[in-house]
Structure 1
Amino acid sequence: MTAHPDFDAIVFDVLGTMVDEPGGIRRGIRALVPDLDDDGTEALLRTWYRHVEEQQREITEGRRPYADSTVVDLEAAARVAAEAGVEDEDAVRALAGSGRRLDPWPDSAPALGRIASRFPVVGLSNAGHAPLTRVNTHAGLRWHQVLSAEDVRAYKPAPEVYRLAITTTGRAPERLLMVATHAWDLRGAQAVGMRTAYVERPVGDPPRAEDSFDLTARSLDHLATILGTE
C-alpha cells in the first residue's frame, strides 16, 4: 500500500529504531566476559536493560533526581560486571561505552536520506547529547535536527520529551509523525497528539492487539515508500 500522508516533519526514535542497540551492548558483554555462552550473554543483557528501565522510570516518576544516559549506562555496566564477577573499573567503563558504538540497520541511513529529501527529519532520543552525537556519527545518520531528552531532564515516554519535538519544530502535534520500533514510545507520542508509525525491527516492543498506529512498516525502507519518497 502506498499513501501520501500530509506531515510537516518526521520524528524518529534512534536507539533500536535506527541502530541496533542490543547488538552493541551484547558485543560489549562478550568483550567483558569472553568465555560466556549465549544464554549467559543474554541474561546479562537483560540485567543491563532492567537497570536502565528501572532507573528511567524512577526519574520519570520523580523518585530519583535526573541523571543523564551516560550515568545510567555506567550504572548498568557496573551492575552487569558485578553479576559477572568482574571488578576491573576500566572494563566497566569500556562496557558502558558499548552503548555508544551501535551499528545502524542496513536500511537506516539510505531510507533516512530518502525521507529527508521530502520532509524535515528530527531525531528524538533518550540518549544524552554527548552519547547521541557519537551514536549518530558512528552510524552515519544525518538529521535536520537532533533532540535529546536531556533538554527536558526526563525520559520517554514522559510527555515533556515529545512536547520538546512539538515546541522545537513549531508545528501542531497532529502534523508530526513519530517513528519507532517501540510500541510504548508510540503510545507516549499518541498521548500528546502526535501521529505514529511503527517500524518492524529484530528488536523493540511490538504492538499489542489494542494498539492502533497511523502507519505500520516492515522496515524503514518500506516506510520511506509509504511516505511517497523515491
Structure 2
Amino acid sequence: MHTRPILVFDVNETLLDLDHLRPLFAELFGDGSVMRDWFAQLILYSQTLTMTGLHSDFGSLAVAVLQMTGDIRGVTITDQDGTRLRQAIGSMPAHPDAEKALAHLRDHGFRMVTLTNSPPSDGPSALDRAGLGGYFETSFSVQPTGCFKPAPQTYQQVADALAVPPRDLCLVACHVWDTIGMQAMGGRGALVTHGVNAPLLLSGVPQPDLIASDLGELAKAMVVEWGTQNAGR
C-alpha cells in the first residue's frame, strides 16, 4: 500500500487564476486569447534555457517573451507594458475553489508545500496576496537550482529539503509536463485540468494518478485515495 504523499502544489495557473492576465493581452493585442500563446511560449523558452544551460529568472523571461510576441504580431511593447505584466502576475487571484480545497486537505492531515518557477519574493508572495499562503508549511522556488521545471533538480531539491525520497511526493499541477516531471523520478502526479489542459496519452509516458476538472474535486479524490492512510514513509 502506498503511503500518503506530501502534496507539492504548482502555483501559477494551478492555484492562481492565469485568466487574470487576459485583459492586459486584450488591451495590447486586441485579443485576450493571445495570453495562452504567450504562456505556452514562456514555458517553451524556460525549458530551452534549462536544456542549454542558460539562466534567467521567470519574471524577466515572461517580459522578454511578451516583447517577442509583440514583435511577431507587429505590436509595440513598452517597458511600462512589461511592468504591468509583472504586476498582473504578482496579483493573480486564487481559483474560486482553491481555499476550500486546501482547507479540506489540511483537515484530513495532508502535508502541503508549493514549488514554483517564479523567483522568491522580497515581500508577500502572490500566493500570500491571494490568501493561500497559510495552508502550506513552506514554499519552494526553482531559482536555487538554476533550472526550470520539469528539470529533475527542481523536484529533487524539494525531496532533499523535506528529507524524503521523490516517491513520497505528489506533484499537483494544471500542467501535465509538470506531473510527468515528478512521476519520471518515481513520485506521483495529480492533474487539475481547469478546463484548459488534459493528460498526454502516449505509450511509455506516466499518466497522472488522479485527474479532476477542478481543485475541489481533486481534493476529494485525494482524500478518498490517500486520506485514511498513515502519513510518512
| Structure 1 stretches of 4+ moved >4 Å | none
Structure 1 SS opposite 2:66: helix
| Residues 26 and 149 of structure 1: CA distance in aligned 2, closer, same or farther (over 3 Å) | same
Query: Which residue number corresponds to residue 153 of structure 1?
Result: 146
| Unmatched 5+ stretches in structure 2 | 229-233
Query: Which residue number corresponds to residue 61 of structure 2?
Result: 72
| Aligned pairs for 1:47-62 within 5 A | 47-62=37-52
The CA distance in 2 between the partners of 1:16 and 1:131, in whole Å, is: 22
| Unmatched 5+ stretches in structure 1 | none
Query: Which residue number corresponds to residue 138 of structure 1?
Result: 129
Cα displacement (A) at 1:89? 2.3
Query: Which residue number corresponds to residue 201 of structure 2?
Result: 209
Query: Which residue number corresponds to residue 18 of structure 1?
Result: 15
Q: Is the 8 A contact 2:22 2:35 kept in 1?
A: yes
Structure 1 SS opposite 2:81: helix
Q: Is the 8 A contact 2:189 2:209 kept in 1?
A: yes
Query: Which residue number corresponds to residue 183 of structure 1?
Result: 176
Cα displacement (A) at 1:186? 0.8
Aligned residue-pair number? 218
Cα displacement (A) at 1:163? 0.6
When normalised by structure 2's length, the TM-score is 0.82
Once structures 1 and 2 are overlaid, which stretch shifts more, 178-187 or 220-229?
220-229
Structure 2 SS opposite 1:124: strand
The CA distance in 1 between the partners of 2:5 and 2:207, in whole Å, is: 21
Query: Which residue number corresponds to residue 96 of structure 2?
Result: 106
Cα displacement (A) at 1:216? 2.1
Q: Is the 8 A contact 2:8 2:112 kept in 1?
A: yes
When normalised by structure 1's length, the TM-score is 0.83
| Alignment counterpart, residue 124 of structure 1, candidates 96, 115, 118 | 115
Once structures 1 and 2 are overlaid, which stretch shifts more, 73-82 or 195-204?
73-82
Q: Give the aligned CA root-mean-square deviation in angstroms.
A: 2.5
